[in-house]
Structure 1
Amino acid sequence: MAFDAGLVDWATEALEQMGTVSFRKMMGGATLYFDGTIFAIASGDALWFKADAQSNALWDEAGCERFSMTFSDGRVDTMNYRRAPADVYDDLDAMREWAALGIAAGLRAPKKKPKKG
């Protein structure tokens, strides 16, 4: 499924006062980075913010479902990214508030070691 480029542009514009947002196309969607830290993915017409054990209760309270994908063999996999609440798409303050949770989760995530090669 493709991602909505206008949505990525909106996120980039909404967060520009906080830092630099960049993205990389990945598996039909886009991975969003804030100052180099993964904080969200864009898939279809939705944003999914990174979550973790520390923020899961807030996402659950807001009713934000967990990202899942179904593979061609029928397997379903979930990732700890949460669907952005509806107000994120038209409210600058809401975008910044919810994105900040994703950024914080990204900063808390263990850093991947560079591959030796």
Structure 2
Amino acid sequence: MSDFIPFVQELLEGLGPVSARRMFGGHGLYHEGLMFAIVMNQQLYLKVDEQNRPDFEVLGLTPFTYPMKGREVALSYWSAPDAIFDEPAEAVRWARSAWDAALRGHLAKAQARERAKACVKTRPVPTGSVG
């Protein structure tokens, strides 16, 4: 693990415990079981959704991209602003926003699964013979 990961974990102490797990040549950063950030090539990227995306766009920040089948694929993790590395309170504020985005995504997926289960339960069971 590079020195950058422990540095980021220390920077985000105000958020609470942050764990790091290796993934795809980088690391995923987790808080309370949800991945809210990734570190790729010594660069921190934070989780973005429709609600917090304007905060990133106004600063000209960009999503993490990688090549796949001849095109660039963008993830919902965007560059963290450089200013957070000098100001722990700002780092925690941005990390909290990213964690909130991860939580909203997690809850939306859980609700979609519940709706899908409800649809399956309410479908009539076919009767009769198939012939």
TM interval, shorter chain, is 0.7 to 0.9
Separation in structure 2 between the aligned mates of residue 69 and residue 108 of structure 1, nearest angstrom: 24
Matched, 1:11 2:8: yes
Matched, 1:92 2:88: yes
Segments of 4+ in structure 1 off by > 3 A? none
- How far is 1:32 from its partner? 0.5
Partner of 1:53, secondary structure, is coil
TM-aligned CA distance change 1:5 to 1:90, over 3 Å: farther
Partner residue, 2:120: none
% identity of equivalent residues: 31
- How far is 1:103 from its partner? 0.8
Matched, 1:31 2:48: no
- RMSD of aligned residue pairs (Cα, Å): 1.7
More helix by share: 2
Larger Rg: 2
- How far is 1:5 from its partner? 2.3
TM-score by length of 1: 0.83
Partner of 2:15, secondary structure, is coil
Which of 83, 87, 96 is matched with 2:79 structurally?
A: 83
Which of 57, 62, 68 is matched with 1:60 structurally?
A: 57
TM-score by length of 2: 0.75
